[in-house]
Amino acid sequence: MEEKKNFFDKDRTRRDFLILTGKGLGGAVVSLSILNLFGCATKYVAVFPLAEKLLVADASRCTGCQRCEITCTALNEGKIQPFISRINVSKNYNFGKEGPKINFTHADGQYGNRKMTLTTCKQCREPFCKNVCPVDAIFADKNHGNARAVNKDICIGCGACVQACPWHVPNVDPETEKSSKCITCGACAAACPTGALSVIPWEDVKIAMNKREQLLFC
C-alpha cells in the first residue's frame, strides 16, 4: 500500500510540475524559480519530466563532447554509435533543434551561439509511439518507473514509432533493425563531465515545490 501511495505521489508531482511549466512565459518563470532551488540559475536550462525523475539540461555548460551519447549506447546497445543514442546532442550540434535558418549565427548550435540542444524521450502521457506500434513492442517498463521501453524480441524495426513521435526521438538501429528509446536510466547524467546534465528525483522536486510555496506565502 505504501509503495502504491509513493507511485501516485510521483505521478501527482509530475502532473503538477507539467501544469506549472505549461503556461507560457509565466510557467517558464515558475519552473526556473523551482530549479533555482537546485542551483540552476541560467535561462538556457531545459527540463524533461520523466517517469521517476526530472532530467535537467543546462546548455550553457554543455561542450558538445557527446560523452552522454557514448555512455548511453555503450551501456544500452553494447557499442558506441551516437546515431542511435537514446539521448541526443549530435543531431542538433550545428544548428540547434530548429535546423538551418537565415539567422543561424544568432541561433543555437556550433555555428550560432554554441549552445547545444539536447533531445530525449519526454515519456508522454499519451504515448504516440506505443499507440502506433503494429506489434505492441512498446510497453511500460516497471523496472524503470513505467517508462516506455521497446521489447526488442518483438520489434520488427518498421520505424512507425519514429514517424509517430512529434520529435522523432526513437531510433531504429540499421544493424539490428530494432527500435530503441530512453528508459530514464540516468547514465548520461552520471557521465557528463561538466554537470550539464542532472537528474532530480520527483521526491526532491516535490520538496522544492513545497518550499517555493512556503516562500511565496510566508
pLDDT tens digits, 69-108: 999 999 999 999 988 999 988 787 766 777 777 877 877 7
| Pairwise CA distance, residues 136 & 145, whole Å | 19
Question: Does residue 175 lie within any of the structural domains?
Answer: no
Percent of the chain with pLDDT over 70: 72
Q: Give the 3-state secondary structure of residue 51.
A: coil
Q: Write down the pLDDT at residue 208.
A: 66
Can you give the residue range of the structural domain that contains 100?
A: 2-123+182-217
**For residues 53 and 186, is the Cβ–Cβ distance under 8 A?**
yes
Banded pLDDT at 29 (limits 50, 70, 90): very low
Question: Does residue 156 lie within any of the structural domains?
Answer: no
| Whether residue 41 has pLDDT greater than 70 | no
Mean predicted confidence (pLDDT) in 107-121: 80
Question: Does residue 79 lie within any of the structural domains?
Answer: yes
Cα angle, residue 170 at apex, residues 31 and 115 outer, rounded to 5°: 45
Question: Does residue 27 lie within any of the structural domains?
Answer: yes
Q: Write down the pLDDT at residue 178.
A: 96
Question: Does residue 96 lie within any of the structural domains?
Answer: yes
Question: Does residue 145 lie within any of the structural domains?
Answer: no
Question: Does residue 165 lie within any of the structural domains?
Answer: no
Record the cell numbers describing residue 98, joined without a space.
Answer: 530548429
Question: Does residue 171 lie within any of the structural domains?
Answer: no
Q: Could you tell me the pTM of the whole model?
A: 0.72
Banded pLDDT at 9 (limits 50, 70, 90): low
State how many domains the chain has: 1
